[in-house]
A and B are shown apart, each in its own frame.
Chain A
């Protein structure tokens, strides 16, 4: 977990580290926590992985909203398992971020204070049961399209976390699709519920890939570092091409009158995305931004006494020497979250809203 940094040496030494890093990236080798890496690479990864983790945590809310109302026990079990998986993904991802020398508490603090973002998609409300299916099919589908290439990302811990995350996400996506299929083939009211959900989630899902390539400030650098493998627009196109035939199989339509097959390019051409809506949601003016953040803060704040109890209990069981050395407060939150080392000063430079949506 500790990061071995080079001594503050000569320029020649620094150049040598940089060269070794560049060579490793060029050769598609994995960068590991103890390896030297450029500060900007570290900062970019911390931001991206943290925001990815935050998205998993905030993303529990719109779906958890339906756990107590799930219409069958089978669906209830599937939904509970899914929300549990998301908490698990959050844990993997915070662990991956911690290998870069930050700790979970400081990342959570940044989420709670609005200095780090989460995927804009979770600022939309889940108004009916069909939304649970639409999230599975479209939102998880878009997430998978984004994340599968991350399994080959140059930073080892992130890439490995993504392998596990993607397996589970694919399973969720299938279940979401199947939920919609059942509704679409069900009663008239169920079919209408499914169509309405797809109508509301389609465009926000396309926005999950982030701004168009010519407005994506950090894409080029991320691609050079092999953190990103494909551009936002490439991934978005791939997603549309996958979804159109799936919508047809579902017996549902996509809310885009301009959608048409282009024989020349071999792709589905789609209509214009309302980027002003995307920007508004990112700025905090989506339908649920305040609600999501305040629920997250409330959970954290009302759990403070529980975390304090766990720390106090653990301290009473530590040998006396260790107790004195650790002192009361820094250990307080770290006990519960198990072994994070806050060795390195903060490398994050705050949100850069032009970046691709993290999830």
Chain B
């Protein structure tokens, strides 16, 4: 990467693309391990949508493979929520609920971008899928309830980062309305958790890193390992076409 790297890394589209790529990768890890066949289809489907979004956004910025495979951990700008390991099915579902609702609200605002118009339909489906499973798990058996609550509690600390404004992200020349986004997100999540008989945690909504850590290229430990797996083959054959 060249001199323009710094400028490129500051582009808000890159952060959105990294979110989509990284979460897509995590969902891809489920293939062959899902609890029912229908979920093999659903999780792969969501992974594919997100990968498509990532590719479209990378395409606006440069070469998609160079951006995905040749940046290092500190140059990725995805929020930490998306890189969290899959854990059990409840963790995956709650991560998806938190992220998809955020994406749905954000893309809903980005009305001047053709990608967002397409993606908002996809993410509404992702959110719907996660919402239904959150209800089933929260209000299912004692075990599923406990697992769902634990997932909510564990992931809560990564939700604050979602509402740190992405510098430079605008709608028809105006900045995105992050406050409205946060208020809508909070209301929605509180309602779904309530219907799922789950509690909204009172714990902090930020990890030990300062807010916006993922956006600054400061990630959690599992992320480096994820990138190592993702990039290994591409990096082993410099310049090759696939």
Contacts and interface: CB of A to CB of B under 8 A. Distances in A.
B140 interface: yes
Nearest to B54: A73
A72 B32 contact: no
Nearest to A298: B33
Contacts of B240: 71, 186-187, 189-190
Nearest to A306: B35
Nearest to A68: B229
A309 B197 CA distance: 13
Interface string A283-322: 0000000000001001110111111111111101000000
Task: Name the prevailing secondary structure of the B interface residues.
Answer: helix
Given A73-B51, A186-B241, A312-B141, A307 B35 contact: yes
Interface in B206-242: 229-230, 232-234, 237, 239-242
B45 interface: yes
Contacts of A68: 25, 28-29, 229-230
A87 B136 contact: no
B36 interface: yes
Contacts of A77: 48, 51-52, 55
A1 interface: no
Nearest to B90: A306
Nearest to B89: A306
B16 interface: no
Contacts of A74: 55, 242
A313 B136 contact: yes
A310 B140 contact: yes
Contacts of B41: 84, 87-88, 91
Contact of A84 (B35, B48, B58, B135): B48
A316 B140 CA distance: 9
Interface in A80-138: 80-81, 83-84, 87-88, 90-91, 94, 129
Nearest to B93: A306
A310 B230 CA distance: 33
A308 B31 contact: no
Given A83-B31, A310-B140, A71 B237 contact: yes
Nearest to B43: A84
Contacts of A72: 65, 69, 234, 242
A186 B237 CA distance: 10
B242 A305 contact: no
B143 A305 contact: yes
Interface in A246-298: 295, 298
Contacts of B29: 67-68
A81 B48 contact: yes
Given A83-B44, A87-B44, A94-B37, A60 B65 contact: no
A336 interface: yes
Nearest to A129: B233
A244 to B, nearest CB: 26
B198 interface: no
Contacts, number: 147
Q: Which of B45, B68, B229, B240 has the most CB of A within 10 A?
A: B240
Interface residues of A, number: 53
A326 interface: no
Contacts of B239: 187
A305 B147 contact: yes
A182 interface: yes
B116 interface: no
Nearest to A179: B242
Contact of B33 (A73, A186, A299, A337): A299
A314 B139 CA distance: 10
A71 B233 CA distance: 6
Contact of B28 (A71, A80, A189, A298): A80
A76 interface: yes
A299 B35 contact: yes
A94 B41 CA distance: 14
B230 to A, nearest CB: 6
A25 interface: no
B64 interface: yes
A339 B147 CA distance: 27
A57 interface: yes
B155 interface: no
Given A73-B68, A91-B38, A295-B32, A313 B135 contact: yes
Given A67-B28, A73-B54, A87-B44, A306 B36 contact: yes
A196 to B, nearest CB: 15
Interface of B: 21, 25, 28-29, 31-41, 44-45, 47-48, 51-52, 54-55, 58, 64-65, 68-69, 88-89, 135-137, 139-141, 143-144, 147, 229-230, 232-234, 237, 239-242
Interface of A: 57, 60-61, 64, 67-77, 80-81, 83-84, 87-88, 90-91, 94, 129, 179, 182-183, 186-187, 189-190, 295, 298-300, 302-314, 316, 336-338
Cβ-closest 5 pairs across A and B: A303-B35, A309-B140, A309-B144, A84-B44, A64-B31
13 contacts: A60-B32, A69-B230, A71-B233, A71-B242, A80-B51, A81-B44, A83-B31, A83-B44, A91-B37, A182-B241, A307-B36, A308-B143, A337-B36
Given A84-B48, A314-B136, 8 more contacts: A73-B21, A80-B31, A83-B32, A87-B41, A87-B44, A305-B143, A312-B140, A313-B135
